[in-house]
Chains A and B, each alone.
Chain A
């Protein structure tokens, strides 16, 4: 359940942004969660309200933007969409691939006043 500490990191980033960008309230947090980030969207949503309570982001709405995983096969050089780390290349069946996209967890935007 590292989502709790990730929510605490999210709050720290928002508080830093509040200082830098001079806002007092966050209405919406747009959070990109990669398919292969190891982060469970439901667990993030579960912790989010509790962690944001009493902060500039209290009562903020959390909008989760899922990001698909993308891999590049080192055997047949094709790109393919990947759901799980144990997937094989759908074209040649190899497990020798590099993950190119979908491992990140990122605040993309904030809606603030």
Chain B
């Protein structure tokens, strides 16, 4: 049984009949007393409770955790491997990878010499705080280390699930179009930092950087923006500075 929560994960019960519900759902026995009960419970409350426990765990152990979110193919994994390689060797890092299938990303991270745990969400389209709590048991991070969580590539669902991270970092590659912040506003609203990736490709594209930043700030006026290219290394210094300084600041708070 799960040591964190005593859980047995609820399973989707398969329907055995063809999926047309033409009958009315009114088969109430007339003798039974129908009553109404007030519940007033938030559906995200359970996830938020786990997220709070994760956050408290990170705080107690001086761990700085980031949650990387983006659509598939924005370059999150390449950004992580470049980040790991360029950070000083004495910087302790572990990575949690979320994908529906395969362990490919965790293998890419392990090739850098850093520990990585792969979570396969199967049907799931996002990581939740409960799965992170388990991951932290399976791969215990070092005290005062950096935990980098790469969420499932999806600009919609991961926005709603707090994992207990210090910040969400949204990665947007310039091949995706500058209107993404308006089309997927929840994600940009939830993020602290937007990384515009693959800027080495700008000469070949019609991507309007200013417009994109303006759209992102309409959704989230306080969002910080970094422009970089993992491939050429442009902007990596600023990104590593942001990371190092944010980690230090979080240890004061």
Chain A interfacial positions (CB closer than 8 Å to B): 1-2, 4-6, 8-13, 17, 21, 23, 27, 36-39, 49-51, 53-55, 59-61, 84-86, 88, 95-96, 104-113
Instruction: A61 to B19: give the CA distance in the assembly, Å.
Output: 16
Q: In terms of DSSP, what is the predominant structure of the interface of chain A?
A: mixed
B42 cross-chain contacts in A, Cβ below 8 A: 104-106
A95 cross-chain contacts in B, Cβ below 8 A: 217-219, 221
Of chain B, the residue at the smallest CB distance from A26 is B37
A-B contacts at CB below 8 angstroms, number: 113
Of the candidates A12, A36, A104, A108, the one whose C-beta lies within 8 Å of that of B10 is A12
A4 cross-chain contacts in B, Cβ below 8 A: 12, 123-124
Within 8 A of A (CB), among B25-84: 25, 27-29, 32-44, 46-47
A84 cross-chain contacts in B, Cβ below 8 A: 185
Q: A2-B156, A8-B12 are known; give 4 further A-B pairs, CB within 8 A.
A: A9-B44, A9-B47, A53-B15, A108-B39
* Nearest-Cβ distance from residue B44 to partner chain A, whole angstroms: 6
* Nearest-Cβ distance from residue A28 to partner chain B, whole angstroms: 8
Instruction: A23 to B156: give the CA distance in the assembly, Å.
Output: 36
Instruction: A59 to B123: give the CA distance in the assembly, Å.
Output: 24
Instruction: A77 to B32: give the CA distance in the assembly, Å.
Output: 52
Task: Evaluate contact between B36 and A109: CB separation under 8 angstroms.
Answer: yes
Task: Evaluate contact between A105 and B43: CB separation under 8 angstroms.
Answer: yes
Of chain B, the residue at the smallest CB distance from A104 is B42
Task: Evaluate contact between A105 and B37: CB separation under 8 angstroms.
Answer: no
Chain B interfacial positions (CB closer than 8 Å to A): 10, 12-13, 15, 19, 21, 25, 27-29, 32-44, 46-47, 123-126, 128, 156-157, 159-161, 181-182, 185-186, 189, 215, 217-219, 221
Instruction: A70 to B42: give the CA distance in the assembly, Å.
Output: 18
What are 17 contact pairs spanning A and B, CB under 8 A? A5-B126, A12-B10, A13-B46, A23-B35, A38-B156, A49-B15, A53-B15, A85-B185, A88-B218, A104-B44, A106-B43, A107-B41, A108-B40, A109-B37, A109-B38, A110-B36, A112-B37
* Nearest-Cβ distance from residue A96 to partner chain B, whole angstroms: 5
Task: Evaluate contact between A5 and B215: CB separation under 8 angstroms.
Answer: no
* Nearest-Cβ distance from residue B126 to partner chain A, whole angstroms: 6
B43 cross-chain contacts in A, Cβ below 8 A: 6, 9-10, 13, 105-107
Of chain B, the residue at the smallest CB distance from A2 is B157
* Nearest-Cβ distance from residue B127 to partner chain A, whole angstroms: 11
Instruction: A113 to B218: give the CA distance in the assembly, Å.
Output: 48
Q: List 7 tightest A-B contacts by C-beta distance, closest first.
A: A2-B157, A85-B185, A113-B32, A38-B186, A54-B13, A105-B43, A107-B39
A23 cross-chain contacts in B, Cβ below 8 A: 35, 37
Task: Evaluate contact between A17 and B189: CB separation under 8 angstroms.
Answer: no
B185 cross-chain contacts in A, Cβ below 8 A: 84-86
Of the candidates B35, B46, B125, B181, the one whose C-beta lies within 8 Å of that of A111 is B35
A85 cross-chain contacts in B, Cβ below 8 A: 185-186, 189, 219
Known: A21-B37, A61-B25, A109-B37. A86 touches B128 (CB 8 A): no
* Nearest-Cβ distance from residue A107 to partner chain B, whole angstroms: 4
Known: A27-B28, A111-B35. A55 touches B46 (CB 8 A): no
